[in-house]
């Protein structure tokens, strides 16, 4: 398979996901349609994409890097229990984010790291079950 085809497939797959996958998670999904793909290719392309501004690399202190195909400025919610990273649909937060960006009109803002860390709804339910059982 041609390199450029692999590149496009990696980018397309990442953009179709909202789970902010790690390189390994993305690789495992791509293997279904591209059994000859190597993890090194996925790593290399993801680094190139993030340097080119095509994808976001979410660095989380010492943990696995996660990637985001959505490069628009948007807040994230990180679960401290399961490690999942999700996007938030919250119009008030969107407004607040716009206000924050306007505070620095001299800057052509490309990126704003707004990340909330807590326990996601799924883990809250699991925790409650564990307490009651
Ligand atoms: Zn969770
Ligand atoms: Zn995101």
Question: Could you report the per-residue pLDDT of 37-83, keeping only the tens digit for each?
Answer: 999 999 999 999 999 999 999 876 556 789 999 998 899 998 989 98
* CA 77 to centroid of ligand 2, rounded, Å: 9
**Ligand 2 mean position to 22 CA, how many Å?**
13
Radius of gyration over alpha carbons of the chain, in Å?
A: 17
Check residue 63 and give its pLDDT.
Answer: 67
Percentage of the residues of the chain whose pLDDT score is greater than 90? 68
CA distance 102 to 28: 40
Q: Give residue 110's pLDDT band: very low, low, confident or very high (50, 70, 90).
A: confident
What does the block give as tokens for 85? 């990273």
Decide the pairing of beta strands 76-79 and 56-58.
Answer: unpaired
94 HSE (CA, 13 A, CB side): 6
pLDDT at 40: 96
Instruction: State in Å: Cα 78 to ligand 2 middle.
Output: 10
Calculate how far, in angstroms, residue 70's C-alpha sits from the geometric centre of ligand 2.
6
What whole-number distance in Å separates Cα of residue 103 and Cα of residue 126? Answer: 40
Give the pLDDT confidence score for residue 43 in this predicted structure.
96
Query: Residue 14 CA: which ligand is closest?
Result: 2
Cα 7 to ligand 1 centroid, rounded to whole Å: 31
pTM: 0.81
CA of 24 to the centre of ligand 1 (A): 19
> How confident is the model at residue 125, as a pLDDT?
93
The ligand whose atoms approach the alpha carbon of 56 most closely is 2
The Cα–Cα gap between 69 and 13 comes to 9
Looking at every residue in the chain, the average pLDDT score rounds to 90
Task: Please tell me the predicted confidence (pLDDT) of residue 132.
Answer: 63
Task: Please return the burial class of 68, using the count of CB atoms within 10 Å of its CB with bins 0-12, 13-18 and 19+.
Answer: buried
């Amino acid at each position: 398979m041609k390199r450029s085809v692999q590149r496009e497939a990696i980018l397309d797959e990442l953009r179709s996901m909202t789970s902010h996958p790690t390189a390994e998670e993305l690789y495992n999904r791509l293997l279904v349609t591209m059994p000859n793909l190597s993890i090194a290719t996925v790593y290399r392309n993801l680094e190139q994409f993030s340097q080119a501004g095509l994808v976001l690399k979410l660095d989380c202190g010492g943990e696995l890097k996660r990637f985001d195909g959505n490069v628009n400025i948007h807040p994230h919610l990180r679960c401290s229990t399961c490690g999942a990273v999700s996007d938030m649909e919250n119009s008030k937060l969107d407004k607040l984010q716009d206000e924050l960006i306007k505070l620095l009109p001299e800057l052509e803002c490309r990126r704003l790291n707004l990340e909330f860390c807590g326990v996601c709804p799924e883990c809250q339910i699991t925790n409650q079950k564990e307490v009651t059982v």
